[in-house]
Amino acid sequence: MQVEVRVFSGLEKLIPGAHFGQPIKVDFAHHFTGRMLLKNLNIPAKEVYIILVNGVNKGLDEDLVDGDNVSLFPSVGGG
């Protein structure tokens, strides 16, 4: 099975060869969660503030399914 992942706002720097907003294909067996996805991509969970699955905010422990589109965002500050 496979999900498509996009990373934003600096998270792309944590994945060799990744680029801001460009899709990354991630293959997995059955029962795969957002937290397992982060581990697979070597992204510390504390670095991710929002995980959108098919445009809907989800928790890291929710299951992903084949064909999901996942977007990962860090906490962003500004002034």
Whole-number pLDDT of residue 78: 57
Would you say 54 and 36 are in contact if contact means Cβ atoms under 8 Å apart?
no
- What is the tens place of the pLDDT at every residue in 14-39? 999 899 999 999 999 888 999 999 99
Taking alpha carbons only, the member of 18, 6, 11 closest to residue 76 is 11
Whole-number pLDDT of residue 30: 83
Domain ranges of the chain: 2-73
Whole-number pLDDT of residue 77: 61
Q: Specify the CATH class of 2-73 in words.
A: alpha beta
CA angle at residue 42 from 10 to 37, to 5 degrees? 100
State the average pLDDT over residues 54-79. 91
State the average pLDDT over residues 37-48. 95
To the nearest whole number, what is the mean pLDDT of the chain? Answer: 93
**One-letter amino acid for residue 72 of the chain:** L
